[in-house]
Amino acid sequence: MKKIFGALMIAVCFGMVMPVQAQIHFGVKGGLNLSKASLSNVGDNFKKDNFTGFFIGPMAEFTIPIVGLGVDASLLFAQRGIKVSDEDGDITVKQNGIDIPVNLKYTIGLGNLAGIYLAAGPDFYFDFEKKTGIDKKKAEVGINVGAGLKLLNHLQIGANYNIPLGDTADIDTGGSYKTKTWQVSVAYIF
């Protein structure tokens, strides 16, 4: 009995002196938005084109080291939009606003050296501008799905797809559109 109790005490002591592999990290995230509109209830004369924007801002990441699960959240200034043309000419509708993605991450890797992660979660977007002729929504909710690489415990390179759950805007002619966005990001974790 004394040997079992002694072994248990040694295990508890080792558990108390093991370094805590901090689970909350902060960093900076930035990248490119490639947006494409999905039009509905508009005439055949409307043509759409891709629009390239950007995003940048702080991020926080909470991870459980042994399991590989984690959550990351970012507060990003984002620019995205669409280009639409009809017989009257070209219109570029820019959206400048705050993008707040919150993702559940699962990481498979080689410790701190390298890893691959899968991420999914909700995305909240709040628009700053209003444009005449197009009634943009002030707030949008979408779903993010993505994957990427973690390198040297500080660098994350990823790509994700943002799928809006509702319409992005209503057009005066009676139609509407959704802005579906591919994002390529680089994050540096301090």
pLDDT tens-digit profile, the chain (190 residues): 677 767 777 766 655 554 455 578 999 999 998 887 766 555 554 555 567 889 999 999 998 877 788 999 999 999 887 766 666 666 677 788 899 999 999 999 877 789 999 999 999 999 887 665 566 778 889 999 999 999 988 899 999 999 888 776 666 666 667 788 899 999 999 8
pTM: 0.76
Amino acid at 185: S
Phi-psi label, residue 179: left if phi above 0, alpha if psi -120 to 50, beta otherwise: beta
Cβ burial, residue 42 (10 Å; 0-12/13-18/19+): middle
- E strand residue ranges, 13-88: 24-40, 47-49, 51-63, 69-74, 76-86
